[in-house]
Amino acid sequence: MDHSSEEKVADATHIPEAHHSPPHEEMSIGEYAATRITTLKPPMHKAPNPFRLLAMLNGKQWLFFFVGFFAWSWDAFDFFTVSLTVSGLSETFGKTTTQITWGITLVLMFRSVGSIIFGLAADRYGRKWPFVVNNLLFIVLELGTGFCQTYKQFLACRALFGVAMGGLYGNAAATALEDCPEEARGIVSGMLQQGYAFGYLLATAFARGLVDTTPHGWRPLFWFGACPPVLIIIFRLCLPETETYLEREAVRNEKGNIGKTFIAEGKVALRRHWLLLIYLVLLMAGFNFMSHGSQDLYPTMLQNQYSFSANAVTVTQVVANLGAMTGGTIIGYSSQIFGRRFSIIFISIIGGALLYPYTYTSSKAVIAAAFFEQFCVQGAWGVIPIHLMELSPGSFRTFVVGTSYQLGNLASSASSTIESTLGARFPLPPKGKTKRYEYGKVMCIFMGCVYAYVIIMTFVGPEYLRRSFEAVDDSDLNEAAGQETIEAAMRRIHQQEVAGNGVHHHSDPEDIKAGGGGVQQA
């Protein structure tokens, strides 16, 4: 440590009066509207070597990232197990493909329930144990699906799985990002979001190896899906709580009644941020329409309209997912330089320009268009985890991130149905007995509208680039718990560190004395 123990404890007693509120909160509607264009100007922050940025994370922060990434990846794997085994499930239960896809729809419908339950639990009781319970449910319900004997049992398992799945995204994002060094947030956000594409690739690979290669048909894929969460749980149990959450817990303990303080924080957040919560749901609806609208019906379009073989479709999908993983990481990194809103709008315009080759190319050259279109779609998505984290009320970060994402997902769950229904209005000459439709035209028009919506919603929305996640900089917490309580809690934390000769805590006394905080942008 740079100072003596006594000096550091003395420093810790001083916390600035000015807590950092999002700048847009203090504006009138007219003032806010007037800043929508001016705040789009890229701040052009220094662009350090991305490897140097990643080197800024210490060992514990990397472990937090990896446990969040692996959990999010396996969340995607478990979701796609049904999509990849529809024909087998249909045969086993004697149901049509449409009836089996209700298993997918139920997952999407019940996700919001899980995000509310587990989001509030993670904000109240910590990131660790709700995460563990979440993954225990994954194990039970994936095993349960694999042993289902009737269609009703299958639907029940998938509905409950939707609850479990909905609870994971907000927790994974908070675990991976809230202790992350501020400069590295953009690139780490992009890497985290691409866990979903990585999970899809894993599901595709394991489905090839496990489905219909044994007498058990589709069931081994679900049995296998229940195994990795055991390792993820063990991984999480070996890690502590995030330092950001521990700061808030210390403030609530200092107040004397943790539950009462948490409720007080909730009242403040609801009163001050209700409009923001509605905005985030609308924004995430657009983003989910963008991913589902560009992906769900795409294999059908390639096979039905352009007569691609199953192998050609698989190769195209794999290349598209590689584009997605690349785009998410690069645009996430770029958003730290150019700003969150500018990055989303810019890459959405590029994605819109690529829609024609993505949907109208009938040769295998479409692979290139698929790579770059998904580069754009998931490039915009790569900004989302940290953008939502920076905009969310600090005390309810897990709840707001997870619930806005899942409600947006619910709104967009009919994407493929909308596209296929509209596609039926544009028939093509049949190929033998197979009816053909001009799905490419429908996807192109649909995605054009979605991109326009995302651009408009991002343009009118706020941004809080480089927001401090520390308790001392949270104006909501200051209002709910009081300046003196926060000051006492921070002093107690540093006294404990000095007594234990520990490492600097998240809120270093020098930072507190200097005023902390980050660059704000409306």
315 occurs within a structural domain: yes
The CA distance from 509 to 511, in Å, is 5
512 occurs within a structural domain: no
Spatial CA neighbour of 191 closest among 205, 180, 203, 202: 180
182 occurs within a structural domain: yes
72 occurs within a structural domain: yes
14 occurs within a structural domain: no
Angle at 53 between CA 172 and CA 169, to 5 degrees: 10
> Which residue type sits at 42?
P
Which tokens is 409 given? Answer: 């997902």
Class of residue 17 by CB neighbours under 10 A (exposed 0-12, middle 13-18, buried 19+): exposed
The CA distance from 466 to 336, in Å, is 8
CB neighbours of residue 510 within 10 Å: 14
Number of Cα atoms under 13 Å in the Cβ half of residue 432: 3
The CA distance from 260 to 431, in Å, is 67
Quick check: helix, strand or coil at residue 429?
A: strand
266 occurs within a structural domain: yes
Residue 436 bridge partners (DSSP): 428
CB neighbours of residue 275 within 10 Å: 8
179 occurs within a structural domain: yes
Q: What are phi and psi of 428, to 5 degrees?
A: -115, 165
DSSP symbols for 474-500: BHHHHHHH-HHHHHHHHHHHHHHHHHT
| CATH code of 160's domain | 1.20.1250.20
518 occurs within a structural domain: no
- Cβ pair 346, 362 in contact under 8 A: no
Quick check: helix, strand or coil at residue 87?
A: helix
Print pLDDT tens along the chain (522 aa). Answer: 444 444 433 343 333 344 455 666 677 788 888 899 998 999 888 878 899 999 999 999 999 999 999 999 999 999 888 888 888 888 899 988 778 877 777 888 899 999 999 999 999 999 999 999 999 999 999 999 999 999 999 999 989 999 999 999 999 999 999 999 999 999 999 999 999 889 988 988 898 889 888 889 999 999 999 999 999 999 999 999 999 999 999 998 888 778 888 899 999 989 989 999 999 999 999 999 999 889 888 888 898 899 888 888 888 988 999 999 999 999 999 999 999 999 999 999 999 999 999 999 989 899 999 999 999 999 999 999 999 999 999 889 999 999 999 999 888 877 877 888 888 888 888 888 788 889 899 999 999 999 999 999 999 999 999 888 888 888 888 888 888 888 888 888 888 877 765 444 454 444 444 444 444 455
Q: What is the DSSP letter of 434?
A: E
Number of domains in the chain: 1
Structural domain harbouring 188: 59-481
Full-model pTM: 0.86
